[in-house]
Structure 1
Amino acid sequence: MDSLPTGLVTSFPLPVSGTATPGDVVAVSAGSTPGASESCQATVGDDGRWSCGLASLPDGGGVAVRAEARSTGESTGDRVDVLHPPTISGSGVVSTSGAVRGTAFPGARVTVTAETGASCTFPADSNGAWGCVLSGSLPDGRHTVSATQVAGFSTQRSGRSAAVPLAVDRTPPGAPSITTPAPGSSAAAGTPVSFGGSGESGARVTLYAQTPGGTTVVCSAQVVSGAWSCAGVLDGGAYTVSALQRDAAGNVSPGSNPVTLTVAAAAGAAAAPTPSPTRTPAPTPTPSAPAPAAPGAAPPTGPASPGTQERFDAPFTTASAPVVSAAALPGWMRSAGLAVAALLLLVLPARLLAAALARGRAQRERHGAHRGALFGRNRPRSDVSEASALFGEAGAARAAESDTPAVSRSQRFWSIAATGLATVLLVTLSTPVPDAGTYPSVLVAVALAVAAVNAVWVLAGRGLAPHLHLHVPHLVLRPGLLLVVAVAAIGSRVLGLSPALLFALVLGLALGPHAGRVRRGRIAAVQVSAVAALGVLAWLAVGLLGVPSDPASAFVVELVNALALTGIGSAAVMLLPIGGLAGRAIAQWSRWLWAGLSLVVYTVLFALLLPVASLVERGVGILVIVAVAVGFAATSVAVWLWERYVAPALDRSVP
Structure 2
Amino acid sequence: MVGTRFTGSGSSRARRSYRAGRLLAGVLLLGFLVPALLAGGSVGSAVAATSSPTPAPAPTPAATPAATPAPTRSSAPPTVSPTITGPRPGSFVGSGSTTVSGTGEPGQEIQLLSAFPGEDPSCILVVDDSSEWSCTGVRLPSGPSVRLRVVVTADPAFAAEQTIAVLAAPVVTGGPSGQAASNGVVRGTAYPNASVIVRLADGNRCTATADTSGAWTCAFGGRLASGAAEVTAAQQATFSLPSWSNESAAIALLFDVDRPAPPTVTEPAAGGRVPLDRATYAGSGENGSTVTVFAGAYSVCSGVVAGGSWTCSAGGVAAGSYAVIAVQQDAAGNVGQGSPAFTLAYGPAAPAPAAGRATPSPRASAPLAAATATAAPAPEPARSPQTATPSQRDGDEAVALGALPGGWSDPTRFATAVLPPWSPSGLSWSQAVLLSLGSLMLLYVPARLLAGTLSRSRGGRPVWPGTAIAGRNRARQEYETAPDVAVNRWLVAGAALAAAATLIMLSGPVTSQPAYLRLLLAVMVALIVVNGVGALVPLWWSSRICRVPASVTFLPRYLLLVAVTALGSRLFEVHPALVFGLLGSVAATPGALNPERGQIAAVRAGSLIGLSTAGWLALGLLPTADGFLSSLGAEIANSVVLTAIGSVALVLIPIGRTSGRSILAWSPSIWAGLTTLAFTIMFGVLSPAVAIWNGDGTVTLLGVAAGVFAALSVGAWAWQRFVTPSRG
Q: TM-score, normalised by structure 2?
A: 0.44
Relative CO higher for 1 or 2, CA cutoff 8 Å, sep ≥ 6? 1
Larger radius of gyration: 2
Q: TM-score, normalised by structure 1?
A: 0.48
